[in-house]
Structure formats: structure tokens, C-alpha cells
Amino acid sequence: MEINISEIKLSDVFSYDETHALLNAGKEFLARHPIGNLYLDFTNVTILNSLAIGAIVTLSNRFKEQDCNLVLKNVPESIVQMLNTINLRSFLNIESAKPDKPLDVSAAEVNISLIIDFELIKNVGIFSFSGSLLTPQDSNLYFSMAEQILKDGYKMLLDLSGMVFIDSIGISAMVKVNNIMKKHKGEIRICGAGDILKDVLETHSLTSIIRLYPTREDALDGWL
């Protein structure tokens, strides 16, 4: 079978339109090619905002599901370090580097790493978190992504409907996000918390501090 190789040169600044364009280009590539490599060229990129991170992460997820390769090339060391700091480095295939092997876990296991996905509805980004907030690394990923969103000034929805467990470290990360929200121009809403997460928040008397929307539709009301 012929392996198709294509390349997209990324812009320095990611807007909503460019995020939509990248997501669509990745989906079109997967629809046309059952096997292949798509390279994202970072030559012109000096900084990644939360829109770019979300688009790259979700495309990486879709490519892995289809056994295709999404490869990041010419990535500046500063961006590699940033991805490493927020614990996303091991999820991505960066050229000329050897990414850590992702944890092989299933939904039935207790020690599930935090998994993130992303979609864009009009001008609202939705980060979906699934798995568990069990380790400092998981909590750092959650907090770092939320902090980046707030700094970028976007409206973002954090969908926690896929979360199966959260411990005190994860609760601390959620509280930290809530505390820094007023310091930045961005806005975050949280939806889809299951009974386990609600019980943990109630146990820690945090339901009056952290507002949870029951569904995506409720959280997106007034944003779209």
C-alpha cells in the first residue's frame, strides 16, 4: 500500500479560522489516506496558544486511531520544553526525538492517565478530559492547559464527563484554576461532572466555589 506523505506549514499566530482550517485539513487527510504521514512544520512558529495545542492534540488522537502518523517537524526547543512542562511531550510525535511511550491503560483500570481531546464549535473551544486525576503529572496537565486558556483570553469549556476518579491532588488543581480565573481575561466553564466528582467536591465543601454546569448545552448557553 502506498504511504502518502503531506506537509502543512503552520503560522506563527493561531486564530479561530486557522484552527478550523488545520482540523479540517487533518480530517480530510485521514479521509483520503488509510495510511500515511502528515507533517506539521513549525519553522514559523515561536509560541503555541491553547487553540493550537488543542488542535494538534486532537489530530494526534485521530491519527493514532487510524494508525497514521502526525509528525511535528522543525519544532523550536522552547516549544518542546513548553510541551514537556505541561506533560504533553509524550503524547506527540516530534521529529528527531524519541517520545516516551504512552501508558497502555483501559477504562476498567484504576490507574488511568488523564486523556485530553479538543473540538471547536464556532468560537468556543471544548477540551474534553477523561480518565483520572491521580498523579501530580495529570493534575499539572489539567492546570497548565486551563492556565494557558485563561492567559490566551479565550472562552473554553472543560468537559469532565469522561472523568472516572479524582483525588486530592486533582481537587487542588481545580481550585487553583478557579482562583486564577479572575486574574486573566479568559473564561472557563466546567460541565459534565459525574457523581464521583460531585461527591468529592461536596466532601471538600467546594460546590459553592467551583460552579459546575450539568451539560454542554447548559455551559454553552450565552456563548454561541
Above 80 in pLDDT, residue 108? no
CATH T-level fold of 115-220? Transcription Regulator spoIIAA (3.30.750)
Between 66 and 208, where is the model more confident? Answer: 66
Q: What is the pLDDT of residues 171-204, one digit of tens each?
A: 888 888 988 888 888 899 999 988 878 888 788 8
124-133 and 115-121 as β-strands: parallel, antiparallel, unpaired?
A: antiparallel
**What pLDDT was estimated at residue 77?**
93
Above 50 in pLDDT, residue 153? yes
Q: How many CA atoms, within 13 angstroms, populate the side-chain half-sphere of residue 94?
A: 21
**What pLDDT was estimated at residue 4?**
60
**What pLDDT was estimated at residue 23?**
94
pLDDT band at 220, cuts 50/70/90?
very high
Above 50 in pLDDT, residue 40? yes
Percent of the chain surpassing pLDDT 70: 90
Residues 116/128, Cβ–Cβ less than 8 Å: yes
**What pLDDT was estimated at residue 112?**
37
d(CA 116, CA 160): 10
Stretch(es) of the chain classified as CATH 3.30.750.24: 4-94, 115-220
**What pLDDT was estimated at residue 2?**
47
Q: What is the pLDDT of residues 14-30, one digit of tens each?
A: 899 999 999 999 999 99
**Nine cell digits for residue 209:** 466555589
Above 90 in pLDDT, residue 127? yes
**What pLDDT was estimated at residue 1?**
40
**What pLDDT was estimated at residue 47?**
87
CATH number of 4-94: 3.30.750.24
Q: C-alpha distances in angstroms, 69 versus 29, 54, 63, 83? A: 11, 17, 6, 19
**What pLDDT was estimated at residue 58?**
95
- Which among 101-110, 135-144, 149-158, 181-190 has the top mean pLDDT? 149-158
Please state, as a whole number, how many other Cβ atoms lie within 10 Å of the Cβ of residue 19. 21
Average pLDDT score, the chain: 85
pTM of the model: 0.82
Above 50 in pLDDT, residue 51? yes
Q: Where are the beta strands (DSSP E) in the chain?
A: 4-9, 36-41, 69-73, 93-94, 115-121, 124-133, 155-166, 187-191, 212-213
Q: What's the rounded mean pLDDT across residues 112-120? A: 82
Q: C-alpha distances in angstroms, 194 versus 5, 165, 166, 212? A: 42, 9, 11, 10
